[in-house]
Amino acid sequence: MRAVGDRRSCGGRLHQQRKTSARGIECAHAQRAQVCGRGGQGRIVQGSKIEHVTDPYAKAGDRIGSMQMIVIWIYGVQLMPVTQSLPRLICLPYAGGSWHAFAPWQAALQGQLEVVAPELPGRGHRIAEAPFIRLTALVDWLLDELDAQLADDFSLWGHSMGALLAYETARTLERRGRRGPRHLFVTGALPPRYPRHAERYHLLDDDGLIAKLAAMGGTPEEVLRDRDLMQIVLPFVRADFAVCETYAWNPGEPAVRAPITAIGGDRDPDIAIDKLQGWNDCSRAGARVSSLPGGHFFLRDHVAALADVFTRTLARPALREPA
């Protein structure tokens, strides 16, 4: 059972506005795209562009992936291929991010890995749901949501907040006696022993939070200036920052079994590459640390390089310990 206060509630007017906006986003996508497949549960669309989004870090006109293929959520159900013969990579987003942040890798890794990118509450097709504000509650929700996917040959990849979520998901699985991931990929993230922000971003007023988003980079200016859009975006961005900033690492708990690959941007102002060595303390199998050119959102400029890391690491058959 989740404790009261683990989710941020939505006011009536804003709640209705967010539901309407989510519907408008889905309809806008469907009207502009060539729709393939049948049924009302989910649709694969080709040639779609991001034009109206709830991810503040996506910009208008971005084409998603070299295969130009994304998944549109209809009625809250995602249509995904079931390819048990392929290793599975479960992708978890940064603060304020959505599932479509990983769409380029769904295309780049097609036929090599099964890429699963869940939509967290408070955004996208789940924008009418209250977002979580505590990591433990979000991990519990994720374990329920992805119960069938957290089995067989699976690995976890998280960027920034998603890295923390991936790490604690692996710890929780092992603590509950379940098999953990084969590999843990963490990008753009300090090891959990470091506090996330000296200043609590989630406690800032709207103008202060918008200023922080501008300073972090990655959010188009036209998005930051759009007050109506920011009224939709800020609640789940604020909640995500609360997830990170209220997290407390428990060093007494065993490190995860899975090896870790940690990658940072060499120009990320908040994450020094040498600090990434701290991920070695989080895995009994050790951590491999490297960097790629760029700032905090370096991943967008290195789709092929990251895809190569994933395939080189996961393409070989899994050698698993007993659960």
Q: Which residues are catalytic?
A: 160
CA neighbor of 70 nearest in space, from 106, 96, 37 = 106
Torsion of CA 105, 267, 292, 281, to 10 degrees: -90
Three-state SS for 159-191 is ECHHHHHHHHHHHHHHHCCCCCCCCEEEECCCC
The answer to whether 108 and 307 have CB atoms below 8 angstroms apart is yes
Token match 């058959």: residue?
Answer: 317
Token match 């694969």: residue?
Answer: 44
- Separation of alpha carbons 270 and 21, rounded Å: 33
φ/ψ of 307, rounded to 5, equals: -60, -40
